[in-house]
C-alpha cells in the first residue's frame, strides 16, 4: 500500500482515537499503521507484511503476540552507509541520523523472530519467501 500523508492535526486526532496499531517518530517524522488497514487484510485470510521500524514492530508484537517479526539488516554498517550515499537522497546530517538510528535498531535485532542479512535483494527476498512459506506450512500441518 502506498503511504498516506496526513497533516499533524489529523495524525494527532487518529492517535487520540486509538486508530493506530503502531506509531512512532522515526528520523524526525511521525509514522503509523492504521489498525483498520491491517484488520481488513487479515480478515480476508491473507498475510500482511509491514515495513516498519523497531519501535513500531515491538508495539505490534505486544498487541498481536503471534505476529512474526523479521529484521532486515545490512551486512555491516559500512555497506549501509555506502548504500545510503549511493541513493543520494539525503543531506549529510540526515544520513548521519539514519546511521545512528541503524546502530540502535541493529542492537535490538535479537528481539525479532528472524534476522535477514540483506547481502543482495535477490538473496534477501528468497530468504523472506522461505520464512513465509515455512510458517504457512506449519499452519497447514495444524489443520
Q: Which grid coordinates are listed for 18?
A: 486509538
pLDDT at residue 142, rounded to an integer: 84
Q: What is the pLDDT of residues 82-97, one digit of tens each?
A: 999 999 998 999 999 9
Alpha helices per DSSP H over the chain: 8-16, 35-43, 54-63, 77-87, 92-106, 121-142
**Are the beta carbons of 52 and 22 closer than 8 angstroms?**
yes
Q: Which CATH number fits domain 1-65: 3.30.63.10, 3.40.50.720, 1.10.3720.10, 3.40.718.10?
A: 3.30.63.10
Nearest to 54 by CA among 67, 65, 69, 64: 69
Q: What is the pLDDT of residues 30-53, one digit of tens each?
A: 899 999 999 999 999 999 999 999
Nearest to 127 by CA among 117, 112, 140, 137: 117
From CA 55, how far away is CA 5, in angstroms rounded? 20
pLDDT at residue 123, rounded to an integer: 97
| N-to-C CA span, the chain | 31
Q: Do domains 1-65 and 68-143 have the same CATH topology?
A: no
3-state secondary structure of 117: strand
pLDDT at residue 76, rounded to an integer: 96
Backbone phi and psi for residue 75, each to the nearest 5 degrees, phi listed first: -55, -35
The stretches in the chain having pLDDT less than 50 are none
Q: Which CATH number fits domain 68-143: 3.40.50.300, 1.10.287.70, 3.40.228.10, 3.40.50.2300?
A: 3.40.50.300
**Are the beta carbons of 131 and 70 closer than 8 angstroms?**
yes
**20: exposed, middle or buried (Cβ count in 10 Å: 0-12, 13-18, 19+):** buried
Number of other CB atoms surrounding residue 33 within 10 Å: 21
Domain boundaries defined on the chain: 1-65, 68-143
Amino acid at each position: 500500500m502506498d503511504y498516506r500523508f496526513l497533516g499533524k492535526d489529523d495524525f494527532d486526532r487518529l492517535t487520540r482515537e486509538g486508530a493506530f496499531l503502531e506509531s512512532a517518530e522515526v528520523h524526525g517524522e511521525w509514522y503509523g499503521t492504521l489498525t483498520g488497514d491491517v484488520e481488513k487484510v487479515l480478515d480476508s485470510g491473507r498475510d500482511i507484511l509491514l515495513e516498519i521500524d523497531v519501535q513500531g514492530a515491538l508495539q505490534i508484537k505486544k498487541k498481536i503476540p503471534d505476529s512474526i517479526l523479521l529484521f532486515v539488516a545490512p551486512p555491516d554498517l559500512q555497506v549501509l552507509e555506502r548504500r545510503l550515499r549511493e541513493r543520494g537522497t539525503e543531506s549529510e546530517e540526515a544520513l548521519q541520523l539514519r546511521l545512528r538510528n541503524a546502530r540502535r535498531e541493529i542492537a535490538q535485532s535479537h528481539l525479532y523472530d528472524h534476522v535477514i542479512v540483506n547481502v543482495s535483494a535477490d538473496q534477501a527476498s528468497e530468504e523472506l519467501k522461505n520464512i513465509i512459506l515455512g510458517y504457512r506450512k506449519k499452519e497447514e500441518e495444524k489443520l
